Structures are given as C-alpha cells and as structure tokens.
Amino acid sequence: MKGEGTQSAVNGSERMMWTSPIMSVREARVAVEEEPAESMLPFPSSASSSNEPCNEMTLYYHDILYDDINNTENATSAAATKPTVLSTTHWKNDTYFGTLVVFDDPMTVGKVLPMAGEGPAARAQGFYFYDKQESYTSWFGFSIVFNSTAHKGTINLVGVDLMDDKTRGLSVVGGTGHFFMARGIATLRLDASEGTVYFCLQMDIKLYECYV
C-alpha cells in the first residue's frame, strides 16, 4: 500500500464524494495523524439521531479472477479451493458451490480500472465463496483499506451477495483509523462483467454510526 497516496492526482477529475458535514473538524484532525488506529482517542458515537448517514461514499470494486492461463499480469484474485464434487457432478448447473476466492482488488472512485502505475482509491482485501445451489450467490468477508493522503484506515464488511437481486446489502461491522468503530451498510449492484474473469460492483457505502 506504500506509494498509493497518489489518489488525488490520479483521480483528480472525479473526486471521492464524501458528505459528512457534522464531522468535518474531526476528520481534518484525523487526516493528519500518522497512525490513527492506535493513537486516536475514541469520541462519543454519533449514532444516528436523524435519518441521515454520518458518512457516505461510492466506490467501484474490480475483481479480475486468475484464469489459470494468461491473465497473470492483471489478475487480482484467485480461487483457493475448487468447486465441490457435489456442485460439479450432481447438480444440473455448476454454480461453483464451495469455490473460495481470495482477492486483493482495486477500488476506484470512477468506473474505470486504474491504468498501470496508477494507485487506486482503496484496496479491497478478503474473500468470497459461492454458497448457493440453484443460482449464483456468494458470501463476502473483507476489508476496504484506505491509504491515501485524504483517508487512512479500514472498513470491515461481511454479508451475502444475493446476485439474483438487483441490489443487495452487506454489513459494515467495524473500522479503524478514519473509520474507527463505524457501522453501516454497503449496497451492491453489478456495474459490468466480462465472462467469468472480470466483474465490477458498484458499492454505495453509508455509515450510520461514526465515532470520528
């Protein structure tokens, strides 16, 4: 993650959209801290006394799955387990039931993948696995890692990606640094895909409990 503090320059034309007016002073203070996760004092939670999120953003998640052949230059994820025999042999359609994928995926403010040498706005590091028989559904556990001049810290998420639904939600269960103790929801929708090798998810992240 070192050297990824170039997000502002790279994505200069599409700045990250943050809207947390009541938090601006504290955010400014946090932004200059070197190690927010440990040095930060906890503030009283701004657990929503209104209907508005205390912080929100939209990021695009790009997953380029290793195809075992020729995309090693670009791949950002790879399957750590094969589909179960139950999935491949006996069910009508292979839905990859049991395949666990580990990823280190770029997340961007705009829809376009970073070009070589460009730093993404954040990285999503974690896993998903396919867990549905008749159709595609996966379960995610991952962290969004920010290490830019604007934002440092992590957001931790878990939940089920019900791919049959147009939109579906994951839970933000915690965070560190700039997102210390945060809770909220990430709403996913498919933005683009190319066969089984690439897909892009739009993630609308809304935090309803913020400590900073």
Please give the residues from 28 up to 57 whose contact with a second copy meets the rule CB under 8 A. Answer: 35, 37-38, 41-45, 47-51, 53
In the complex with a second copy, the residue whose CB is nearer, 15 or 63, is: 63
CB of residue 13 to a second copy, shortest distance in Å? 27
How many residues belong to the site for a second copy (CB under 8 A)?
84
Judge whether 137 and 43 are in contact, CB under 8 Å.
no
In the complex with a second copy, the residue whose CB is nearer, 13 or 162, is: 162
Q: How far is CA 90 from CA 21, 74, 85, 87, 100, in A?
A: 55, 33, 7, 6, 19
Strands (E) located in the chain? 55-64, 77-79, 100-108, 122-130, 137-147, 152-162, 168-177, 183-194, 198-209
Count of C-beta atoms within a 10 Å radius of residue 185: 17
Q: Is the dihedral of CA 32, 53, 188, 58 positive or negative?
A: negative
CB of residue 136 to a second copy, shortest distance in Å? 12
Q: Is 80 in the site for a second copy (CB under 8 A)?
A: yes
Q: Is 11 in the site for a second copy (CB under 8 A)?
A: no
CB of residue 14 to a second copy, shortest distance in Å? 22
For residue 188, what are its two tokens?
């996913």
Q: Is 87 in the site for a second copy (CB under 8 A)?
A: yes
CB of residue 56 to a second copy, shortest distance in Å? 11
Contact pick of 8, 58, 156, 202 for a second copy (by CB under 8 A) = 156
